[in-house]
Amino acid sequence: MIMAAMANIKNFFAEAGDMFSFSFRFFPEAVMPRYEFRELLRQAFYIGYKSIPLVASTAFIMGLVLTIQSRPTLVEFGAESLLPAMVSVSLVREIAPVITALICAGKIGSGIGAELGSMKVTEQIDAMEVSGTNPYKYLVVTRVLATTLMVPLLAVIANVIAVYGGFLGVNIKGVVSWDLYWLKVFEALSYSDVLPSFVKTFFFGFTIGVVGCYMGYTSSRGTEGVGMAANSAVVISSLLIFVIDLVVVQITDLLGLT
């Protein structure tokens, strides 16, 4: 049993090392020509634009539900007027970015893992290498750049729609004007709320792209490997999103931005 545990630990660190090596390879490949702008735009379209309906509907429900659930507690303490401020700060600082990243990990990460995994097991990636094409630049760099750029934009859209859902939630059992609601929202929010929340979504997007590409790019064992790549991409990227979020919260706390 001890030997099996040691082997598992060894395999874990070996896999982590391979993933870090795969990730750091992205930076020189991203700045060296040739640049695959057409493929980057295509991936940005599928990763960003095609994800808007799912992200928007989830954000709207999230803001609406959070407002409805929070209202009774604030009413008990006579702090119902704080509802717009509380909901907006909660959504913008933490809930909307993390939930958006998790949605993208499930939708985008699994898609990338399955797509590259199927290309790997059918030897399409090997064929690209033989033909003189750089498969890492064409397949990995474009997808990682697309996720890094699109996830923050999706998070911004989710923030706006979620806060609007909060407006409807506030008016279900009360009457708050449009101008007063947004006045309370912007009074509660500051740059220290918005900036760290926005910056960490770039790390979320980079992580989703890298993990999905790594799992697909290194998959094996035929069609079974494709399924495992898609599943592992979702699980690992979701876990790393929470780890990154924890690190960012600690850094912002040390910098006095909380």
Quote the domain boundaries for residue 220: 37-254
Output the pTM of the full model.
Answer: 0.90
Q: Is residue 182 part of a domain?
A: yes
The predicted pLDDT at position 258 comes to: 61
Rounded Cα–Cα distance for residues 178 and 63 (Å): 16
CA angle (190 as vertex; 187, 192 as ends), nearest 5: 160
In a domain, 109, yes or no: yes
Give the DSSP letter string of 213-253: HHHHHT--SHHHHHHHHHHHHHHHHHHHHHHHHHHHHHHHH
- The verdict on residue 216 lying in a domain is yes
- Is 232 part of any domain? yes
Q: How far apart are CA 253 and CA 237, in angstroms?
A: 24
Q: What's the pLDDT at 5?
A: 66
| Single-letter amino acid code for the residue at 167 | F
The domain tally of the chain equals 1
Question: DSSP assignment, residue 133?
Answer: -
Query: Residue 4: what pLDDT?
Result: 64
Directed axis angle between helix 142-170 and helix 83-90, to 10°? 170
Residue 203 within any structural domain of the chain: yes
- In a domain, residue 9? The reply is no
What Rg, from alpha-carbon coordinates, does the chain have?
A: 21
Structural domain contains residue 14: no
Instruction: Output the DSSP codes for 3-71.
Output: HHHHHHHHHHHHHHHHHHHHHHTHHHHHHSSPP-HHHHHHHHHHHTGGGHHHHHHHHHHHHHHHHHHHH
Query: Measured between alpha carbons, how far is 248 from 240 in angstroms, rounded to an integer?
Result: 12
Residue among 54, 118, 106, 144 nearest 234 (CA): 106
The answer to whether residue 15 sits within a structural domain is no
Q: What are phi and psi of 94, to 5 degrees?
A: -135, -55
Return per-residue pLDDT of the chain as tens, 258 residues.
666 666 667 777 777 788 888 888 888 888 888 888 898 999 999 999 999 999 999 999 999 999 998 888 888 887 778 888 889 999 998 899 999 999 999 999 899 988 888 888 888 888 887 887 788 888 899 999 999 999 999 999 999 999 999 999 888 877 888 888 899 898 888 888 888 889 999 999 999 999 999 998 888 767 777 888 888 889 999 999 999 999 988 888 887 766
